[in-house]
């Protein structure tokens, strides 16, 4: 698995309220699953996610997992002053709040400034500010990383 630490997370985002806009929304009390469909826009702190479908899985009033699908689903996280935003997209996304890990699956790309990593699997650890790309179970799907040189001042 290739490792690339090119991002920094906004630590207080997960302590902010969640705002979701969508064309439809449903919540099943029995299964504790919420489904939002149609031009879904999720905002929490500096994080924005756009998808076709977003599903929340809850236990004891806490979100345990969020899945997104889209063609593609996208995310953007604003970093501190003077730092480039983090942008990403994939066909499928899974976020686990308890571990602060975002899994981007199928046609995944994460970029910050001119730097970019693409693979069929990218794991973004938002707590420790680490990106891991690639899947060690297969050698046929490679990771492509591009680092743009910084301009000399």
Boundaries of every domain in the chain: 2-146
Q: Tell me what pLDDT residue 17 has.
A: 87
Neighbours of 43 (CB within 10 A): 15
Among 17-21, 22-26, 130-134, the least confident range? 130-134
More confident residue, 113 or 58: 58
Give the whole-number percent of the chain exceeding pLDDT 90.
Answer: 43
pLDDT of residue 120 exceeding 60: yes
CATH fold for the domain made of 2-146: lipopolysaccharide transport protein A fold (2.60.450)
Q: Tell me what pLDDT residue 98 has.
A: 85
Pairwise CA distance, residues 129 & 4, whole Å: 10
The reported pTM is: 0.79
Q: Tell me what pLDDT residue 49 has.
A: 92
What is the torsion angle, in degrees rounded to the nearest 10, for the CA atoms of residue 20, residue 23, residue 24 and residue 25?
0
Among 31-40, 50-59, 141-150, the least confident range? 141-150
């Amino acid at each position: 698995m290739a490792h690339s630490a090119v991002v920094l997370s906004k630590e207080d985002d997960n302590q902010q309220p969640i705002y979701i806009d969508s064309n439809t929304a449903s919540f099943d009390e029995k299964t504790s699953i919420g489904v939002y469909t149609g031009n879904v826009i999720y905002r929490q702190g500096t994080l924005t996610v756009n998808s076709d479908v977003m599903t929340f899985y809850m236990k004891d009033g806490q979100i345990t997992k969020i899945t997104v699908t889209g063609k593609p689903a996208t995310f953007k996280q604003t970093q501190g002053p003077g730092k480039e935003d983090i942008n990403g997209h994939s066909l499928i996304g899974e976020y686990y709040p308890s571990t602060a890990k975002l899994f981007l699956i199928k046609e995944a790309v994460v970029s910050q400034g001119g730097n970019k990593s693409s693979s069929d699997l990218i794991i973004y650890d938002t707590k420790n500010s680490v990106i891991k790309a690639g899947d060690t179970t297969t050698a046929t799907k490679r990771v492509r990383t591009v680092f743009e040189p910084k301009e000399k001042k």
